[in-house]
Amino acid sequence: MAGLDDRLLSIEDEILRNMGGLFWIVTDVNKRNQRVRELALRIEPLMAQADIDKIVEDMNNFYPIAELLVDEDIEDIMINHTEGIFAFNSRKGLQKLEEKLDDREVLSRFVAKLKLYMTNTEYDGNVMDIHLPNGSRANVVSSPLGQNITIRNMKRTPLSIIDLINNGTMDYDIAARLWLYVDGLKVRPANLLIGGIPAAGKTTLLNAMFSFFRPDQRIVTIEETYELDTSEVENCAALETSKDLPMQALVKNALRMRPDLVIIGEVRGAEANDMITAMNIGKISMGTIHGATSRDIINRLQHTPMNVPMDIMPVIDAIVVVSSFYSTTSSMRKVTQISEISGLETQVLLSDLYKYDYKTGGAAPILPSVTYRDMLSNLVGITPQAILAEERVRAMILEKMNGIGKRDIRSISETVKAYYDNPDATLHKLDIRGVDPVVKV
């Protein structure tokens, strides 16, 4: 590949066989390259420096998908062994590339490069989840025809809540409601599930909501493969499952880590009961879950393999559903439903506060929170109307930030933290006049 003759390819293959996982352990690029040089000289002591440099360059080259990995519009890359490469472009949809991996030897070498970044070394090679240098996640599955590779391409700059407003996923009022759910006026954040079909944008939305966390919160995230960007969270333990540490075990262990909030990357099995238990004992929990509607999600929770008893389901405060669909010109993602659990009768009662109208392509205004709002009202000792007024103030903050160009996650996080610390001063700095923070906590 890429200018290496058979001799150098043979040496590169031996280096790759001996370095699986090393690039994850050694994060400094110069140190990585030095390790490669040292191993190359052990294999061939008199190797020319120019040849070593070629091997180093090739090991860091993910041809033929290198350009896709740095393309902000590419969401997923699919390599079907040696038969073809496809990419999902957020603007253009699914596309087939002209390039492909020519044969199984080339495919095997490509997979060996991916394995340099493995974290879960206990996998036997038939199934692997790998973190790439740009933060993307590669899943590799062996088959009789060769390995099949799917790469979830992470944006270099994660989408913020204002980015999601600007691309039509939600409006300011929905964003302010999510802020209220995450914050809970410092007294009681919401137990929240974000639902949707695969690739609907669940993790993207959850990640954007990280800007709303309070700096004094201790957060534990649990994922099968690390995807959430926790860089703006001061006190966070980011956990990843493995063969010896399945999701259920990590959820149980998270309760021993003194969390204020447990975030589960994807709820799909028996860990749902442990999540509900955490909610029930006052450990606020959030996570994503597959389901096209709020009712679908409730049904999934109640049945195998989750088997959550109906009588404890009301500890979940709210369900937010995101969906992906196509317009005439492009693919779109939108928050399509927000529901709160309002009680039990013969089934779990859901109160829909918002639903997107697919027929008209329009969205009705979000209705006031009832169950969760009234609970906060009692806990904080203010009227429900005051909570709604506070929600409106927060919508104005987000709108003002968008107007002055402060749209990135870091800017939003900093402003939110400043608002928690001194709401009056923050409104003054943003030149938001004629309103006062209703709830100062």
CA dihedral 269, 219, 407, 431 (to 10 degrees): 130
Residues of the chain above pLDDT 90, percent:
67
Q: Please, which pLDDT band fits residue 120 given cuts at 50, 70 and 90?
A: low
User: How is residue 196 written in tokens?
Assistant: 């949707």
pTM for the model:
0.85
Q: Please, which pLDDT band fits residue 408 given cuts at 50, 70 and 90?
A: very high
414-to-207, 402, 410 alpha-carbon distances in Å: 16, 14, 6
- Contact predicate 193/316, CB 8 Å: yes
Confidence at residue 124, expressed as pLDDT on a 0 to 100 scale: 53
Confidence at residue 187, expressed as pLDDT on a 0 to 100 scale: 92
Task: Name the strand (E) or helix (H) holding 391.
Answer: helix 384-403
| 12: Cα separation from own chain's centroid | 34
Measured CA to CA, the distance from residue 202 to residue 322 in angstroms comes to 6
Strands 284-290 and 192-196: parallel
pLDDT over 50 (residue 1): no
CATH number for the domain formed by residue range(s) 6-152: 3.30.450.90
Q: Is the torsion defined by CA of 394, 395, 396, 397 positive or negative?
A: positive
CATH class of 161-429: alpha beta
Cβ-proximal residues to 143 (8 Å cutoff; 6+ apart), any chain: 81
As a whole number, the mean pLDDT across the chain is 90
Cβ-proximal residues to 387 (8 Å cutoff; 6+ apart), any chain: 180, 185, 369, 373, 376, 377, 380, 438, 439
Strands 318-326 and 192-196: parallel
Summarize pLDDT for 348-359 with one digit per residue, the tens: 999 999 999 877
Summarize pLDDT for 182-209 with one digit per residue, the tens: 999 999 999 999 999 988 999 999 999 9
What does the buried/exposed string (b/e) look like for 198-210 if buried means 16 or more CB atoms within 10 Å of the residue's CB?
eebbbbbbbbbbb
More confident call, 329 vs 351: 351
Overall average pLDDT of the 11-20 stretch? 89
Confidence at residue 278, expressed as pLDDT on a 0 to 100 scale: 85
Domain coordinates of the chain in residue numbers? Answer: 6-152, 161-429
User: How is residue 289 written in tokens?
Assistant: 């879950």
Measured CA to CA, the distance from residue 372 to residue 93 in angstroms comes to 38
Overall average pLDDT of the 274-303 stretch? 91
Measured CA to CA, the distance from residue 147 to residue 111 in angstroms comes to 8
- 118, β-bridge pairs: 130
Residue 256 gets which letter from DSSP? Answer: T
Q: Please, which pLDDT band fits residue 298 given cuts at 50, 70 and 90?
A: very high
- Contact predicate 32/55, CB 8 Å: no
Overall average pLDDT of the 390-413 stretch? 96
104-to-83, 129, 138, 145 alpha-carbon distances in Å: 10, 20, 18, 8
pLDDT over 60 (residue 402): yes
| Listed range (17-21, 204-208, 255-259) with the worst mean pLDDT | 17-21
User: How is residue 298 written in tokens?
Assistant: 């409730």
Angle at 267 between CA 262 and CA 270, to 5 degrees: 100
- 141, β-bridge pairs: 127, 148
